[in-house]
Amino acid sequence: NAGVTQTPKFQVLKTGQSMTLQCAQDMNHNSMYWYRQDPGMGLRLIYYSASEGTTDKGEVPNGYNVSRLNKREFSLRLESAAPSQTSVYFCASRRLNRGDNEQFFGPGTRLTVL
Amino acid sequence: AQSVTQLGSHVSVSEGALVLLRCNYSSSVPPYLFWYVQYPNQGLQLLLKYTSAATLVKGINGFEAEFKKSETSFHLTKPSAHMSDAAEYFCAVSDPYSKLVFGAGTILRVKS
């Protein structure tokens, strides 16, 4: 049981390049989330998927797209990377039918955009 | 809308001293509250959570937090700090079925 896994762990891009961050969970969770973490700002929600087949914008969606490929996988795509997207990206998942909303986090992807 | 304020972006304590990390929340409905810990270069790990049961919540690694509705607070404490407690701590709030809202985080430094 690996929990939530993310690839890659590190990535350096040039401005304008594109890339996809991958996330997978093996806990049979229905909901999945993408956050970015910046110093002094905590974690901010980019996009989430309440269940397979649905996606919704979070607090900071501009410049990103997501795909819920199946119940296990939720990817985040940067179509044209900008230096402002330099950040640490975390994927998380949550059990359905648990009102406490506890989320389980992956180890993160450190992205630098030059 | 819900929000979280963590007082103090950096807290420094001596090994063996009391740890107190402050969290105040705003919520229009009875909240669910969480404390997460992040060790360097790692993801977030749940320390403890309040989900409308007992107001004093015990978590892992000797941490506990008390929900005080009148003060809209959920402060995190540990009686005696260890060097291994050095990390960043995040308070978060949600209502039963909505998204988590995180505070800005508090970096805890433990001095020997």
pLDDT digit string (tens) for A35-57? 999 988 899 999 999 888 899 99
Q: Classify residue B48 by its DSSP letter.
A: E
pLDDT-above-90 percentage for chain B: 79
Mean pLDDT of chain B, nearest integer: 92
d(CA A67, CA A78): 12
Question: What is the per-residue pLDDT across B13-56, written as a single tens digit (0 to 9) for each?
Answer: 999 999 999 999 998 888 889 999 999 888 999 999 998 778 89
Q: Give the A window 74-93 contacts with B, CB below 8 Å.
A: 90, 92
Q: What is the reported pLDDT for B2?
A: 85
Which of B106, B103, B105, B107 has the alpha carbon at shortest distance from B26? B103
Angstroms from B97 CA to nearest CA on chain A: 6
Which stretches of chain A score pLDDT less than 70? Answer: 96-100
**Beta strands A87-94; A109-113: pairing state:** antiparallel
Q: What is the reported pLDDT for B41?
A: 85
Angstroms from B69 CA to nearest CA on chain A: 17
- Taking any CB pair shorter than 8 Å as contact, residues of chain B touching chain A are 4, 9, 32, 34, 36, 41-46, 49, 51, 90, 94, 96-100, 102-105
Assess contact for B39 and B56: CB atoms under 8 A. no
Q: Classify residue B72 by its DSSP letter.
A: T
d(CA A19, CA B106): 31
